[in-house]
Amino acid sequence: MIQLETLTKYYGSFCAVDNVTLNVPKGALYGFLGPNGAGKTTTLRMIAGILRPTSGRVLIGGDDVNRAPLAAKARLGFIPDRPFVYEKLTGAEFLRFVAGLYGQDGLLVERRIDELLEVFELSAWKNELIESYSHGMKQKLIISSALIHRPEVIVVDEPMVGLDPRAARLLKDLFKGFVSRGGTVLMSTHTLEIAEALCDRIAIIQGGKIVAAGTMAELKQQTKSGDIGLEDLFLRLTGGPAAKELAAVLEGGL
Amino acid sequence: MHILQPKWRTALTRARQERASGGTGKAIVLAVVGLLFWAAVFGVLLRVLRYFRGVQEIGALLAGKLLSLSLLSFISVLLLSNVITALSSFFLAKDLDLLVSSPVDRVRIYVAKLGETLLHSSWMVALMTVPIFAAYAVVYKGGWLFPLVAAGTFLPFLVLPAVVGSATTLILVNVFPARRTRDLLSLIALGAAAGIILLFRIIRPEQLARPEGFRNLLDFITVLRAPTSPLLPSEWVTKSVMGYLGGKMDWLPLYLLWSTAGAAVVIGAILHTRLYHTGFTKAQEGAERFVRGGLWQWALGGLLRPLGAARREFVLKDLKLFFRDTTQWSQLILLAALLVVYLFNIRALPLFRGEQVPFYTVSIVSFLNLGLAGFVLASIAARFIFPAVSLEGRQMWLLRSSPLELKALLWSKYWVGTIPLLVLALAITVLTNVLLRASPFMMAVGVCTIVLLTLAISALALAFGALYPQFETENAAQIPTSFGGLVFMMATITLLAVVIVIESVPVYGYLRAAFNQEPLHVSPLMLGAFALVIVVCVGATLVPLRIALKKIEQFEF
Q: What's the CA gap between A176 and A192, in Å, rounded?
A: 17
Residue A154's SS3 state is strand
Residues of B in contact with A76 (CB under 8 A): 401
Residue B409's SS3 state is helix
Provide the mean pLDDT of chain A. 84
**Phi, then psi, of B498 in degrees rounded to 5:** -60, -50
Residue B537's pLDDT is: 95
Residue A15's SS3 state is strand
Q: CA angle B280-B285-B290, nearest 5°?
A: 160
- B286: nearest CB among A52, A73, A131: A131
Residues A48/A155, Cβ–Cβ less than 8 Å = yes
Question: Which own/partner pairs from B489-495 qualify as long-range (CB within 8 Å, at least 24 positions apart)?
Answer: B489/B378, B489/B379, B489/B382, B490/B33, B491/B460, B491/B464, B492/B374, B492/B375, B492/B378, B492/B381, B492/B457, B492/B460, B492/B461, B493/B375, B493/B378, B495/B374, B495/B453, B495/B456, B495/B457, B495/B460, B495/B536, B495/B537, B495/B540
Q: What's the CA gap between A93 and A128, in Å, rounded?
A: 10
Torsion over CA of A233, A234, A240 and A243, rounded to 10 degrees? Answer: -130
| Closest C-alpha among B24, B417, B413, B461 to residue B469 | B461
Residues B100/B280, Cβ–Cβ less than 8 Å = yes
**What pTM was estimated for this model as a whole?**
0.75
Please tell me the class of the A2-75+153-253 domain: alpha beta
Residues A238/A248, Cβ–Cβ less than 8 Å = no
Check CB contact of A166 with chain B, cutoff 8 Å.
no
Residue B386's pLDDT is: 92
Residues B390/B479, Cβ–Cβ less than 8 Å = yes
Q: Label residue A34 exposed, middle or buried (CB < 10 Å: 0-12, 13-18, 19+).
A: buried
CA atoms within 13 A on the CB side of B226: 8
pLDDT at B201 over 70: no
ipTM: 0.80
- B401: nearest CB among A73, A88, A92: A73
How many angstroms separate the CA of residue B436 from the nearest CA in chain A? 44
Residue B211's pLDDT is: 45
Q: Tell me which chain B residue has its CA closest to the CA of residue A68.
A: B403
Q: What number is the average pLDDT over the span B508-514?
A: 84
Residue B33's pLDDT is: 82
b or e along B313-333 (b: 16 or more beta carbons within 10 Å of the residue's beta carbon)?
Answer: bbbbbbebbbebbbbbbbbbb
Q: Which of A208-217, A236-245, B116-125, B317-326 has the lowest mean pLDDT?
A: A236-245
| Closest C-alpha among B188, B208, B181, B219 to residue B92 | B181
B395 and A104: CB-CB below 8 Å?
no
Residues A83/A138, Cβ–Cβ less than 8 Å = yes
Q: What is the pLDDT of residues A178-232, one digit of tens each?
A: 888 888 999 998 877 787 778 888 888 888 888 888 887 777 777 776 677 777 7
Could you give the angle at which helices B359-384 and B331-348 cross, rounded to 10 degrees?
170
| Closest C-alpha among B475, B445, B463 to residue B547 | B463
Q: What's the CA gap between B62 and B64, in Å, rounded?
A: 5
Residues A35/A208, Cβ–Cβ less than 8 Å = no
Q: What is the pLDDT of residues B432-455, one digit of tens each?
A: 888 888 888 889 999 999 999 999
How many angstroms separate the CA of residue A234 from the nearest CA in chain B? 28
Q: What's the CA gap between B364 and B507, in Å, rounded?
A: 9
Q: What's the CA gap between B244 and B150, in Å, rounded?
A: 10
Which DSSP symbol is given to A228?
Answer: -
Q: Tell me which chain B residue has its CA closest to the CA of residue A53.
A: B556
pLDDT at B212 over 60: no
Which DSSP symbol is given to B521?
Answer: P
Residues of B in contact with A96 (CB under 8 A): 313
Listed by number, the residues of chain A in 129-148 with a beta carbon closer than 8 Å to a beta carbon of chain B are 129, 131-132, 145
Q: What would you report as the CA-atom Rg of chain B, rounded to the nearest whole angstrom? A: 27
Q: What number is the average pLDDT over the span B510-520?
A: 80
Q: Tell me which of B180, B300, B307, B313 to substitute to probe the interface with A (most A C-beta atoms closer than 10 Å).
A: B313
- B401: nearest CB among A50, A97, A105: A50
Residues of A in contact with B313 (CB under 8 A): 96-97, 99-101, 105
Cβ-proximal residues to A210 (8 Å cutoff; 6+ apart), any chain: A20, A21, A22, A203, A204
Q: What number is the average pLDDT over the span B123-140?
A: 90
- B395: nearest CB among A52, A78, A84: A84
Higher local confidence (pLDDT), B391 or B156: B156
Residues B41/B128, Cβ–Cβ less than 8 Å = yes
| Predicted confidence band of residue B114 (pLDDT cuts 50, 70, 90) | very high
b or e along B262-277 (b: 16 or more beta carbons within 10 Å of the residue's beta carbon)?
Answer: eebbeebbebbeeebe
Residue A196's pLDDT is: 79
Q: What number is the average pLDDT over the span A246-254?
A: 56
What count of CB pairs under 8 Å joins A to B?
106
- Which H or E run includes B394? none
Residue B209's pLDDT is: 46
| Closest C-alpha among B284, B289, B290 to residue B173 | B284
Range list of β-strands (E), A25-139: 29-33, 55-60, 63-64, 76-79
Higher local confidence (pLDDT), A155 or B289: A155
Q: What's the CA gap between B241 and B249, in Å, rounded?
A: 8
Cβ-proximal residues to B164 (8 Å cutoff; 6+ apart), any chain: B79, B82, B264
- A51: nearest CB among B292, B312, B556: B556
- Sequence letter at residue B134: A
Residues A21/A4, Cβ–Cβ less than 8 Å = yes
CA atoms within 13 A on the CB side of B112: 19
Residues A5/A56, Cβ–Cβ less than 8 Å = yes
Strands A55-60, A29-33: pairing kind: unpaired
Count the Cβ atoms, other than its own, within 10 Å of residue B97. 11
Strands A76-79, A55-60: pairing kind: unpaired
**Phi, then psi, of A202 in degrees rounded to 5:** -140, 140
Check CB contact of A95 with chain B, cutoff 8 Å.
no
Out of A43-47, B84-88, B431-435, B472-476, give the one with best mean pLDDT. A43-47
CA atoms within 13 A on the CB side of A236: 14
Q: Tell me which of A51, A79, A88, A158 to substitute to probe the interface with B (most B C-beta atoms closer than 10 Å).
A: A88
Residues B477/B394, Cβ–Cβ less than 8 Å = no
User: Residue B350 to residues A231, B294, B344, B345, B357: CA-CA distances in angstroms?
Assistant: 85, 50, 12, 10, 10
- Which H or E run includes B86? helix B59-86
Residues B132/B41, Cβ–Cβ less than 8 Å = yes
What are the sequence ranges of the domains in chain B?
A: 59-283, 303-554
pLDDT at B64 over 80: yes
Q: What is the pLDDT of residues A143-164, one digit of tens each?
A: 999 999 899 999 998 878 778 8
Residue B529's SS3 state is helix
Residue A23's SS3 state is strand
pLDDT at B207 over 70: no
Q: Label residue B17 exposed, middle or buried (CB < 10 Å: 0-12, 13-18, 19+).
A: exposed
Q: What is the pLDDT of residues B134-168, one digit of tens each?
A: 999 998 888 888 999 999 999 999 999 999 999 98
- B288: nearest CB among A71, A74, A129: A129
Residue B544's pLDDT is: 94
Q: What's the CA gap between B185 and B176, in Å, rounded?
A: 11
Q: Tell me which of A10, A17, A97, A98 to substitute to probe the interface with B (most B C-beta atoms closer than 10 Å).
A: A97
A128 and B291: CB-CB below 8 Å?
yes
A129 and B402: CB-CB below 8 Å?
no
Q: Tell me which chain A residue has its CA closest to the CA of residue B284.
A: A132
Q: Tell me which chain A residue has its CA closest to the CA of residue B403.
A: A70
Range list of β-strands (E), A80-230: 153-157, 184-188, 201-206, 209-214
Residues of A in contact with B290 (CB under 8 A): 127-128
What are the sequence ranges of the domains in chain A?
A: 2-75+153-253, 85-151
